[in-house]
Chains A and B, each alone.
Chain A
Amino acid sequence: MSEELRLSARETRGKPGVRRYAMVIDLRRCIGCDACMVACKAEYDVPLGVFRTWVPYRVVGKYPTVKKQFLPRLCNHCDDPPCVRSCPVGATYKVEDGGFVLQDYDRCIGCKACMASCPYNARFMLPEHRTRSNITSVVDKCTFCHHRVVQGLVPACVQTCVGRARVFGDINDPSSEVSRLVARHATQVLRPEQGTKPQVFYIGADRNMTEYGRDVYDAREALDDERAVFNRNHTI
């Protein structure tokens, strides 16, 4: 992206001298094994009821011509993140070098403005009870595994991705694998019309999937049932 096309001062894709981490999710390789979901739970001691990354799926077609499609989801680490704009206390911030959108737990007052502003439902409130961590009752989200990336490691979900569908790297570096994948393949981002400049790019997603209505997650009736149960039993 050229300098002129950058609309917001916050955007760092294409900005010289800084890294802009991005993820490419190649849906041709996603087998829906959910290893990423569980690796993420372990990495952060993520409590039950919430996910930093999750893999909705849907069944498309009419018997017997039917396919199953998976759409791994996580925070898009937007280049122009609305959550950062909406946070009244500066608890949500973007790291210029790397582009990570992070959460400062000490500053968070739990007002959920960021949750409301995120078009991707990528943020959640931490419950009171956790196994090991004592960070509770504040908003949390995917960090692109900031603590691993700064040590030269890929995020935990990428690390364990069985089909190698998730690829991570610096999209400001033209020789990185993510740059090459984005250059060579037609990619999509979720909800481009929101102007958030998502940095999670999908290969092989068709518009039927990325217009991710509720039906992507499960059969409508099953979904309604689980939602009702969740609302009844999940107290924060």
Chain B
Amino acid sequence: MLEITRRNFIKVTGGTTAAALAAPSMLRAMETDLGGRDYNPESYKERKAIPTNCHVCNIQDGAVAFVEDGRVVKLEGNPNHVSTRGRLCAKGNAGMWYSYDPDRILYPLKRVGKRGEGKWKRISWDEALNEVAGRIDDVLKNGDPNEIMLKYGRNRTGGVLSRFMNTLGSATVLNHTSVCESSKKVGMEPTWGPDIETPDFANTKYVLNFGSNILEAAYFHNPYSQRITEGRVDSNAKIVTFDVRLSNTAGFSDEWIPVFPGTDGAVALAIGHVILREDLQDSEFITDWTNVSLSELKEHYEQFTPQWAAELSGVPEETIERIAREFAHASPATTYTYRGPAKHLYGSYNEKACMMLSIMTGNVEKRGGYCLPRGMGYDQPQPEPPQPKKASILRDPPEFPLASHHVSHLVPFWIAEGRQKVSVYINYMDNPVYTNPGAEAVWGELFRNEELIPFRVVLTPFMGEEAQTADIILPDVPYLERWEPESMPNSLWPWVGLRQPVIAPMGEGKEHRVYLQELIHRLDPDGSRGMKKYWNFKSSEDYVRQQFENVPGLKEAGGLDWLKKEGVWPIYGKLNPATGKVSDKTGREIKAEYGLHKKELSRADMTGATVDEEGTIHKNGKAIGVQRNGRSYVGFPSGSRLINVRIDEWAEYGFNPMPTFKRIPWHENLKEDEMILTTYKYNVHVQSRTASVKWLAEIVHRNWAPINTETAKRIGVKTGDLIRVESPVGHLVTKAYVTEGQHPRVIGISTGCGHWGYGRLAQLKLKEKGGEFGAQEDSDLKNVWWDDKGVHPNAIIPAVADPIGGSAGWYDTVVKVTPAREGDRYGDVESSWDKHMEWYKKTMGFTYVGDQHRKMHPEMADWAGPDSVGPKKPSGH
């Protein structure tokens, strides 16, 4: 048998290793580099490293792309990135497959035949742009600019899309936030300013996690997961997760506490009740930094007894009492939430109730506590087009005056009602046909209706469900081929980063900035319409260079040239191979700044300022800070510079301004055989864009519905059995996955699977030929062995909307689960526009002008009614 001696080893590995072998003690565990370089395993040749910014999901990790013979073969985290620290999640590691998807669209397409029929013709860019420009021109000349609608999903263009729409003068710009986390944002913003928290997980002793699956998805999966493991192992933190299912996060936690969907807020209020009842709160913090007094707060919380919450949530009273004491005694401690509490009819109330726990225990802005997000900005190239003069009723619906992130998932119904004409629908990185409530039954219907939507242009490299109903497809490019500025508050250290093309755009693909410029230049060739002057940049690189020109510090370091080399700014220190943490020059871990609200105002700030009897510092008609114990602090970035436990604006519209909970009316008196349907994400998938990524699809390709063992017994099904899930708006047929890790009254059906578009792999149509739209086939797809693509739930989920925050009530659907009937086939999905329309009308009844509003708010009996408040100014978000 061959024995490999040291001499053979050197021969095998080639000359480059000789130096390392000569000094064995130099090579040490974890003192070897944690990344930044990579080599080909067959030739041992070094791969070219180019820093960029990941964009498989929206966490925005710093990345390094390794390129071999012009092809991206490997992706790693950028070791210089303070949040990412060299690591990427499963999705980020697979990001090159967006570029190399064999079903990618590499040239412009025009539909032939009926809309949605799936027949396409390759056209030139010239033809495509002329047609789109012609349609836009027609509206600008003969209609209202607001008839040009743009809806985006994952918009990281750094302002390009707004620039485009502002140039056209249209305010009809819709995002996707209402299907994402908007009620979380709306629960937080009026309370303390920002729309998200940054818990200091690494240094905390106790985490109360309400409905966030942070170890698989959510903001900010990778950076936060790193810190949560540090908190748990290095800081001995306890993690308690409230969730309806045993996610990886719940399964990792010290305690998983199952909770009935939508009742997290009640549990949080009861925990608050115990803390205040037992006098465990931080009285000084409440007095100094909130807009209520301790006695007001105590009095208000008296109603939220553990017994009341236990009945609603199913969480035992003694558990609530115990967790309350543990949380209040742990120091520092933090809460964390994501979609669990927020994605309900009254999600904003739930979010508010949860964040109150960090506030009343004074854990805000403390090391190991619940911190404000730290952001860093970049500029827009000048000149900038002005905001459109006229608001869009689709973007700012009058029934939702507090929904500062819009209510985009109800837009199809509003278009159908004729609220606003849409002549041109521009679709950017947004697949509502798949991702929104109602799915094909709502958005598919809308998009196929040529009267309601006469012209649809989709900007995408993939034939997703939304692209299938396009009139023109412009082949946008995936993130590894784009220039974009980036910044995200995904750790306690602010940064700006650069997404730069690590390979040239493939085929005829172009990035947004380039073809939108060409469009504007077609609309205004000589500048006489006043549009061209906003689009005078030389190239994407030139545009992005201008965005980074005035970032303090970065400018001196070299601006864009620095970022092209390093990917991120600033570099806070070196990634320490012995700890995996970032160390400063002395070798110690870098320290975050805490207590942002206690930064003191300068003498210049105070010049001309007045202080009122509450201690609020006013200047030029604005609150600029708070005076406490003779010191002038900057306070919180809320209007009042305090934490608004009482949100007066909510009361104007008849909503309870204080922390409260509203039970979802149709969740009361559930019948024995009724359950709640919730959706969730798997660790390896984003919402809609990863089913065509082979390495991720190999790990998760089907989504059998988790169902509790006892429930399965009652229904009479076992794992793999066909089940029928019926909601008020339709039904689907999937398979059961029987598990102990599931609330007995909840069935889960994950998103991410069950595509009917998005290429052959997502649909498992691999017998069809690849490269239909110009891309190169991947012979590895011959090895695909699975034959189950899963079932998508959204068609049977009605479009509920939070009357405050506008969020979709994803987890509110009551369903009946039974064994499949005769004739039911796996993957059957049935639903209809009319049924969804009914539910839309029902949800509108909960808005402040609706007939259910007063009934839901008996405590607001003194409210003078909707006529007492004037129309609200459109928000700037």
For residue B875, CB closer than 8 A to chain A, the reply is no
- Taking CB atoms, residues of chain B closer than 8 Å to A129 are 779-780, 782-783
For residue B726, CB closer than 8 A to chain A, the reply is no
For residue A137, CB closer than 8 A to chain B, the reply is no
Q: Given that A150-B20, A177-B578, A178-B29 are known contacts, is A162 also in contact with B226, CB under 8 Å in the complex?
A: yes
For residue A195, CB closer than 8 A to chain B, the reply is no
Count chain A residues whose beta carbon lies closer than 8 angstroms to a beta carbon of B: 90
- Taking CB atoms, residues of chain A closer than 8 Å to B514 are none
Chain B residue, CB-CB nearest to A153: B33
8 A Cβ contacts from A38-61 to B: 38-39, 41-45, 47-49, 59, 61
Rounded to whole angstroms, the CA-CA distance of A150 and B33 in the bound complex is 11
Cβ B215 vs Cβ A32 within 8 A: yes
- Taking CB atoms, residues of chain B closer than 8 Å to A225 are 720
Rounded to whole angstroms, the CA-CA distance of A160 and B40 in the bound complex is 17
Q: Given that A151-B17, A160-B88 are known contacts, is A173 also in contact with B25, CB under 8 Å in the complex?
A: yes
- Taking CB atoms, residues of chain A closer than 8 Å to B741 are 59, 63, 66, 68
For residue A122, CB closer than 8 A to chain B, the reply is no
Rounded to whole angstroms, the CA-CA distance of A4 and B768 in the bound complex is 63
Chain A residue, CB-CB nearest to B744: A63
8 A Cβ contacts from A191-228 to B: 219-222, 225-226
Give the distance to chain A from B303, nearest Cβ to Cβ, in Å: 27
Selected contact of A44 from candidates B13, B41, B71, B232, CB within 8 Å: B41
Interface centre among A18, A128, A219 (most CB of B within 10 A): A219
- Taking CB atoms, residues of chain A closer than 8 Å to B708 are 63
Give the distance to chain B from A34, nearest Cβ to Cβ, in Å: 4
Cβ A41 vs Cβ B683 within 8 A: no
Cβ B41 vs Cβ A176 within 8 A: no
Cβ B93 vs Cβ A48 within 8 A: no
Chain B residue, CB-CB nearest to A167: B30
For residue A77, CB closer than 8 A to chain B, the reply is no
Selected contact of A47 from candidates B88, B249, B780, CB within 8 Å: B780
- Taking CB atoms, residues of chain A closer than 8 Å to B709 are 63
Give the distance to chain B from A183, nearest Cβ to Cβ, in Å: 13
Rounded to whole angstroms, the CA-CA distance of A183 and B41 in the bound complex is 32
Cβ A93 vs Cβ B4 within 8 A: yes
Cβ A66 vs Cβ B740 within 8 A: yes
8 A Cβ contacts from B449-476 to A: none
Cβ B229 vs Cβ A163 within 8 A: yes
Rounded to whole angstroms, the CA-CA distance of A47 and B577 in the bound complex is 31
Rounded to whole angstroms, the CA-CA distance of A171 and B38 in the bound complex is 24
Cβ A19 vs Cβ B783 within 8 A: no
Cβ A167 vs Cβ B74 within 8 A: no
The B interface, classified by DSSP as helix, strand, loop or mixed, is mixed
8 A Cβ contacts from B56-110 to A: 71, 73-77, 86-94, 96
For residue A62, CB closer than 8 A to chain B, the reply is yes
For residue A11, CB closer than 8 A to chain B, the reply is no
For residue B28, CB closer than 8 A to chain A, the reply is yes
8 A Cβ contacts from A59-76 to B: 59, 61-64, 66-69
Selected contact of A152 from candidates B20, B77, B719, CB within 8 Å: B20
Cβ B87 vs Cβ A162 within 8 A: yes
Cβ A170 vs Cβ B27 within 8 A: yes
What per-residue 1/0 map shows which CB atoms of B790-831 lie under 8 Å from chain A? 000000000000000000000000000000000000000000
Rounded to whole angstroms, the CA-CA distance of A178 and B31 in the bound complex is 11
What per-residue 1/0 map shows which CB atoms of B211-240 lie under 8 Å from chain A? 000011000011001101110110000000
For residue B605, CB closer than 8 A to chain A, the reply is no
For residue B788, CB closer than 8 A to chain A, the reply is yes
Cβ A226 vs Cβ B9 within 8 A: no
Rounded to whole angstroms, the CA-CA distance of A145 and B39 in the bound complex is 10
Rounded to whole angstroms, the CA-CA distance of A172 and B34 in the bound complex is 20
Cβ A33 vs Cβ B784 within 8 A: no
Selected contact of A229 from candidates B74, B216, B578, B786, CB within 8 Å: B786
Selected contact of A173 from candidates B6, B29, B251, CB within 8 Å: B29
For residue A2, CB closer than 8 A to chain B, the reply is no
Cβ A29 vs Cβ B28 within 8 A: no
Rounded to whole angstroms, the CA-CA distance of A36 and B17 in the bound complex is 25
Interface centre among A37, A163, A169 (most CB of B within 10 A): A163
For residue B715, CB closer than 8 A to chain A, the reply is no
Q: Given that A35-B88, A222-B737, A233-B786 are known contacts, is A160 also in contact with B76, CB under 8 Å in the complex?
A: yes
Cβ B29 vs Cβ A49 within 8 A: no
Cβ B89 vs Cβ A35 within 8 A: yes
Selected contact of B719 from candidates A67, A131, A219, CB within 8 Å: A219
Give the distance to chain A from B576, nearest Cβ to Cβ, in Å: 11
For residue A112, CB closer than 8 A to chain B, the reply is no
Give the distance to chain A from B706, nearest Cβ to Cβ, in Å: 10
Rounded to whole angstroms, the CA-CA distance of A150 and B2 in the bound complex is 21
Give the distance to chain B from A168, nearest Cβ to Cβ, in Å: 6
For residue B522, CB closer than 8 A to chain A, the reply is no
Cβ B786 vs Cβ A131 within 8 A: no
- Taking CB atoms, residues of chain A closer than 8 Å to B38 are 43, 148, 153, 156
What per-residue 1/0 map shows which CB atoms of A64-98 lie under 8 Å from chain B? 10111100000000000000110100100111111
Cβ B39 vs Cβ A151 within 8 A: yes
- Taking CB atoms, residues of chain A closer than 8 Å to B704 are 222
Rounded to whole angstroms, the CA-CA distance of A160 and B739 in the bound complex is 30
Give the distance to chain B from A152, nearest Cβ to Cβ, in Å: 5
- Taking CB atoms, residues of chain B closer than 8 Å to A150 are 13, 16-17, 20-21
Selected contact of B695 from candidates A32, A38, A148, A154, CB within 8 Å: A38
For residue A146, CB closer than 8 A to chain B, the reply is yes
- Taking CB atoms, residues of chain A closer than 8 Å to B246 are 59, 66, 68
Cβ A169 vs Cβ B24 within 8 A: no
What per-residue 1/0 map shows which CB atoms of A1-41 lie under 8 Å from chain B? 00000000000000001110000001011011111011101
Rounded to whole angstroms, the CA-CA distance of A175 and B698 in the bound complex is 39
- Taking CB atoms, residues of chain B closer than 8 Å to A49 are 698, 783, 785
What per-residue 1/0 map shows which CB atoms of A133-153 lie under 8 Å from chain B? 101000000010111111111
Chain A residue, CB-CB nearest to B709: A63
Interface centre among A147, A161, A162, A167 (most CB of B within 10 A): A162
Rounded to whole angstroms, the CA-CA distance of A160 and B38 in the bound complex is 13
Cβ B3 vs Cβ A93 within 8 A: yes
For residue B156, CB closer than 8 A to chain A, the reply is no
Give the distance to chain B from A5, nearest Cβ to Cβ, in Å: 21
For residue B851, CB closer than 8 A to chain A, the reply is no
Rounded to whole angstroms, the CA-CA distance of A130 and B788 in the bound complex is 22
Rounded to whole angstroms, the CA-CA distance of A149 and B12 in the bound complex is 14
- Taking CB atoms, residues of chain A closer than 8 Å to B672 are none
Cβ B13 vs Cβ A146 within 8 A: yes
Cβ A37 vs Cβ B699 within 8 A: yes
Cβ A42 vs Cβ B73 within 8 A: yes
The 10 closest A-B pairs by CB, nearest first: A169-B29, A68-B251, A176-B29, A221-B719, A163-B229, A90-B2, A48-B783, A38-B93, A234-B785, A150-B17
Q: Show 15 residue pairs from A and B whose CB-CB distance is below 8 angstroms, ordered by the A residue.
A: A28-B233, A31-B225, A31-B252, A35-B87, A38-B699, A47-B783, A132-B71, A148-B38, A154-B30, A161-B87, A163-B229, A169-B31, A219-B739, A222-B720, A229-B786
Give 9 A-B pairs besides A96-B6, A161-B87, A177-B29 with Cβ atoms closer than 8 angstroms.
Answer: A19-B27, A32-B252, A35-B92, A39-B74, A42-B74, A49-B785, A59-B246, A90-B1, A168-B32
